């Protein structure tokens, strides 16, 4: 009986918040007709024909593994090593967004002020040159 190794990992960033969606990928070699089985904390979560799974982290943080099955030999892959997905902290609230908005607004205001000062300086320089020709 041939068995293939499988590897499972997250395609998403490291920090996860409640309600985030996370993409998981299960890699199996040589054949394309695998059915992918996902486990969380050693309990079957679901199966699908796509090697990429999307989960919501409202209640699905934990240790993940995948395994593949086929109707023709080889029928099974080995269970992948587990990897952990955790939910950290609280979802960033509006105060974070407001702070980012204020900082961006201040930067834009600073750039506009610098442009205005440059234009004013050029205007004064040209006005002085014009007056010197008139006299």
- Tokens describing residue 78: 């080995």
Instruction: Inform me whether the pLDDT recorded for 133 exceeds 70.
Output: no
Tell me what pLDDT residue 1 has.
42
Kindly report which listed range (17-31, 50-64, 87-101, 117-131) carries the lowest average pLDDT score: 87-101
What is this structure's pTM? 0.58
Whether the CB-CB separation of 8 and 28 falls below 8 Å is answered with: no
Whether domain 6-85 has CATH 3.90.930.12: the reply is no
Contact residues for 117 (Cβ-Cβ < 8 A; gap 6+):
none
Kindly tell me if the per-residue pLDDT of 119 is higher than 70: yes
- Cα 44 to Cα 31, 37, 41, 65, 83: the distances in Å are 23, 7, 8, 9, 15
pLDDT of residue 126: 76
Position 93 scores a pLDDT of 59
Q: Edge-to-edge strand order for the sheet containing 43-48?
A: 43-48, 35-40, 62-69, 83-85
Residue-range domain boundaries for the chain: 6-85, 93-135
């Amino acid at each position: 009986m041939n068995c293939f190794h499988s590897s499972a990992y997250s395609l998403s960033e490291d920090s996860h918040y409640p309600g985030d969606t996370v993409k998981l990928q299960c890699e199996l070699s040589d054949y394309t007709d695998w059915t992918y089985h996902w486990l969380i904390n050693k309990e079957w979560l679901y199966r699908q024909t796509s090697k990429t799974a999307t989960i919501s982290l409202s209640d699905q943080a934990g240790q993940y593994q995948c395994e593949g099955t086929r109707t023709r030999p080889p029928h099974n892959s080995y269970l992948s090593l587990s990897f952990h997905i955790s939910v950290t902290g609280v979802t960033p609230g509006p105060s974070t967004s407001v702070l980012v908005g204020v900082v961006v607004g201040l930067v834009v205001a600073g750039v506009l002020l610098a442009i205005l000062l440059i234009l004013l300086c050029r205007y004064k320089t040209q006005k002085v040159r014009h007056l010197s020709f008139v006299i």
